A and B are shown apart, each in its own frame.
Chain A
């Protein structure tokens, strides 16, 4: 079922000529893309291809040296709650004293600001997000005591509680065992079917076609974009994983 709040015909994320530099090194070179809600998109490329950097630049975590991001036809606001970035699981401090539900509740804060009361609507949004990601039974568990797959689902539930339309996921499948990967893949497909735009960096070429509708091949610059089967050609993969052009 399509989420009525998310009309994927008009909700587009448009990147125009994005360049990102780390000092003299050009991490992302002139990337332009247009992605629509209701799809799961894989960012594929070798180490240092600029996948994480591109996602971080979309939400303003790293500054662009050139280019722009437009969301729903307007320049993207830095503090929009509609686009959520989820860093790699390994980068999160899982020793932090917080329960799974407490972490999901953090997703409501961009909507509430520092002082507005956490009320019934917020509780319901958190309940819904946890149910969607099937973590209701883990609500009172410390995040450090969860398995890798459960932790990843808690992070995604936080983004859903934030009412994000676009989820930018940095290597969400990294370090997960097979059943956890399969469950997460199913849930991401469901989120895309319900009208959200899922963009995830992914390195397992064998599973790309099963999980994602579209593939964006990166090697600093954009190599190719399109449906998985047509885009993952030998020629394109060689350019994506070979020397930078």
Chain B
């Protein structure tokens, strides 16, 4: 009890915990769609666009949190939606077009970075710092979370049909490309909102690991989405507490937690994990 009171006595911890709740839930929920759509590779590529975006923002408007977020958002949207657009209008698939655009984006980002001041701390953008979030970040995270979660919950039905089978969605008159754009936009906004707190490298982990762990245990789409959200909150909040108690940076703390939860989930899942695979392999033939 004392520990919690101690942690909450600092304003930066209060802000960190509030941000942890929102980005944890948002990432876990959106990640459910990413895992069910088998789009983790796409999302991972998308996360690589954030860093050149930060450099672009810094070049245009100087180094500040606003330019970093807007630059990352614009770059991710251009590359994310651009690759969806190429896939929708050619025989090239989404992953291939994304690979080309991300490489171009990274190269452009590195060139841009050489032209701006060199005091950007790369680690801050790779791992973030949840204990360093400002009031503005808090507002931004909650607004972004509100918009993304409302849109996904509002369009849950068509999205569910789409992730099950895009062909079925199309045959039922749904616009598959619009739903793809909606999902990509949700992923981009979620990653950008998580930038300050967890950085570009951890963003993909927090997005995918909670939902992937839930997918190893649960058999209902809705429960995987909400369960991923809840697990995301637990991991993000635990990160803040652990980094306070053990006095380690939040980035490594979150990375260890995400990896441990996923590995334990994979090992112990009674139906879809290692344990189940071993049991099946050693079951006597009848």
Contacts and interface: CB of A to CB of B under 8 A. Distances in A.
B129 interface: no
B36 A87 contact: no
A122 B155 CA distance: 19
B157 interface: yes
Contacts of B154: 114-115
Interface residues of A, number: 29
Given A97-B218, A114-B155, A109 B170 contact: no
Interface in A77-92: 77-81, 84-85, 87, 91-92
Interface string B159-195: 0110111011011111000000000000000000000
B165 A109 contact: no
Nearest to A145: B219
Contacts, number: 63
A230 to B, nearest CB: 32
Contacts of B165: 87, 92-93
B243 interface: no
B171 to A, nearest CB: 5
Interface string A69-82: 00000000111110
Contacts of B224: 97
Nearest to B176: A61
Contacts of B173: 77-80, 110
Interface string B214-255: 010011110010000000000000000000000000000000
B158 interface: yes
Given A79-B173, A109-B172, A112-B157, A61 B167 contact: yes
B1 to A, nearest CB: 39
A79 B168 CA distance: 11
Interface in B13-34: none
Interface of A: 59-61, 77-81, 84-85, 87, 91-93, 96-99, 102-103, 106, 109-110, 112-115, 142, 162
Interface of B: 36, 154-158, 160-161, 163-165, 167-168, 170-174, 215, 218-221, 224
Given A97-B224, A109-B172, 9 more contacts: A59-B171, A79-B173, A81-B172, A96-B164, A97-B36, A97-B218, A98-B221, A110-B173, A142-B219
12 contacts: A60-B170, A60-B171, A80-B173, A96-B36, A97-B218, A97-B221, A99-B220, A106-B164, A109-B158, A110-B172, A113-B157, A114-B155
